[in-house]
Amino acid sequence: MKLGMIGLGKMGGNMVLRLLQGGHQVVGHDRSEAALQNIRDHGAQGTSDIDEFIAALGEPGSRAVWVMVPAGQITQSVIDDLAGRLSPGDIIIDGGNSNFKDTQRRAEELAHEGLHFVDVGTSGGIWGLKEGYAMMVGGPEEAVERLRPIFETLAPAADRGWGRMGPSGSGHYVKMVHNGIEYGMMQAYAEGFELMKAHQTFNLDMAQIAELWRHGSVVRSWLLDLTAEALKNSADFEQLSDYVADSGEGRWTIIDSIELGVPTPVITLATQMRFRSQQEVSYAGQMLSAMRRAFGGHAVKTLEVGKQEGLVPEVQAGEHPKAAAPENIPAVAAQAGSSEHSAAEQLGETGQQRVKGDE
Ligand SMILES: NC(=O)C1=CN([C@@H]2O[C@H](COP(=O)(O)OP(=O)(O)OC[C@H]3O[C@@H](n4cnc5c(N)ncnc54)[C@H](O)[C@@H]3O)[C@@H](O)[C@H]2O)C=CC1
Ligand SMILES: O=C(CO)[C@H](O)[C@H](O)COP(=O)(O)O
């Protein structure tokens, strides 16, 4: 079958290669010359000229274009552009991680133009080329049937790993929940391993445990396989930042759970943990420190930039990269009126004195 592919990045590029291997004819379009060259090197036609791309797709009414670009505004503008160029009977496929509500709206709008819209929640990442892609398909049955040869080639096997979920939006909806589950599973592994690493009594080897659990354990999974591989290369692992991005699917899953009144505590907390990781400094955390200092006279940690405040850490500084010991502890000690006591004790006394003074 002939298929047009717009977006030849990590996903679209490899999907083109898998389709070529399956004997399909593919025309690719991307803004990136390197991405185009990659598919040309493997025998596909690739062009950055959208008119040339459309012309190469075949007869109006029988054409199919798979869109595999970043979700959101880019997907919207690519679909808008396609809608103006295609004809009734043609199919647009959105294989990205689009919000299912956008998909429902797009399907309705495109139906008015006589265009079929098929949403495909696609899973498999960069491994899909070799292993095949799991595809959760939504949209009109007739259009999905026409695309069967494409799904059968992209899937891990012709009769497995893909299927029509229901009407437009259902494919992206199921993929959204899939990714919510992904967040929860990832978070559970990450927490368990962090706990074992912190429990220093046994000096446990994380790489050894991850590898061991891959074989026969109840918690073995593909995510664990990838984790075990990552832990083998400790030099690479240790230089990773703890910033964890999120591209929307977790947030939308939580919104859906709120709208339906269905509890999703694991997915929700896993998503919230990503938000926390994305903060350089937590305003809420600063506020907690301010309150503790105010009501209890407790010592609090300061940021590097806030050293001049001269606050005393309760715990030895340097344990957390986001906090540092103030350098002017002696100044605080002097202020507290005694250099005999520990700085933390002195700060506590200062707090008590201030409360007394206020009365
Ligand atoms: N990377 C992953 O593991 C997965 C990604 N997805 C989804 O697949 C979609 C694509 O993701 P990736 O391939 O990872 O992204 P990517 O960033 O690797 O590739 C996107 C490609 O689209 C091209 N592009 C951007 N704007 C364009 C435009 N206006 N016209 C033509 N080409 C344009 C870029 O040049 C790039 O080659 C996204 O919606 C993503 O959420 C879905 C499942 C897994
Ligand atoms: O769909 C995917 C995997 O199934 C993509 O890798 C997606 O980008 C992962 O979500 P996030 O970026 O929010 O971690």
Q: For the chain, which domains are there?
A: 2-168 (3.40.50.720), 176-277 (1.10.1040.10), 283-358 (no CATH)
Smallest-distance ligand from the CA of 65: 1
Query: 182, 314, 345, 349: which one is catalytic?
Result: 182
- pLDDT for res 305: 52
Q: How far is the CA of 245 from the centre of ligand 2 (A)?
A: 9
Span 166-203, pLDDT tens digits: 999 999 999 999 999 999 999 999 999 999 999 999 99
- pLDDT for res 314: 47
Distance CA 67, CA 221 (A): 30
Angstrom CA distances, 73 to 66, 78, 98, 130, 138, stand at 17, 9, 10, 30, 21
- pLDDT for res 311: 53
Cβ within 8 Å of residue 145, ≥6 positions away: none
- pLDDT for res 143: 98
Of the candidates 231, 219, 229, the one whose C-alpha atom is nearest the C-alpha of residue 189 is: 219
Q: Between 347 and 100, whose confidence is greater?
A: 100
- pLDDT for res 351: 29
Mean pLDDT of 92-107: 98
- Is the pLDDT reported for residue 223 higher than 70? yes
- Is the pLDDT reported for residue 114 higher than 60? yes
First to last CA, the chain: 84
Q: How far is the CA of 282 from the centre of ligand 1 (A)?
A: 31
- Is the pLDDT reported for residue 130 higher than 90? yes
- Is the pLDDT reported for residue 219 higher than 90? yes
Q: Between 345 and 113, whose confidence is greater?
A: 113
Span 266-325, pLDDT tens digits: 999 999 999 999 999 999 999 999 999 999 999 999 996 544 444 554 444 444 445 443
Q: Does ligand 1 have an atom closer than 6 angstroms to the CB of 74?
A: yes
Q: How far is the CA of 44 from the centre of ligand 2 (A)?
A: 27
Mean pLDDT of the chain: 88
- pLDDT for res 332: 32
- Given a contact cutoff of 8 angstroms between Cβ atoms, the answer to whether 324 and 313 are in contact is no
Mean pLDDT of 238-250: 97
User: ipTM of the predicted structure?
Assistant: 0.99
Note if 101 is an active site residue: no
- Is the pLDDT reported for residue 333 higher than 70? no
- Is the pLDDT reported for residue 336 higher than 60? no
Note if 301 is an active site residue: no
Q: Which residues does a 6 A CB cutoff place in the pocket of ligand 2?
A: 97, 123, 125, 179, 182, 245-247, 249
Cβ within 8 Å of residue 29, ≥6 positions away: 4, 5, 6, 8, 36, 46, 47, 48, 50, 53
Instruction: For the chain, give the number of residues.
Output: 359
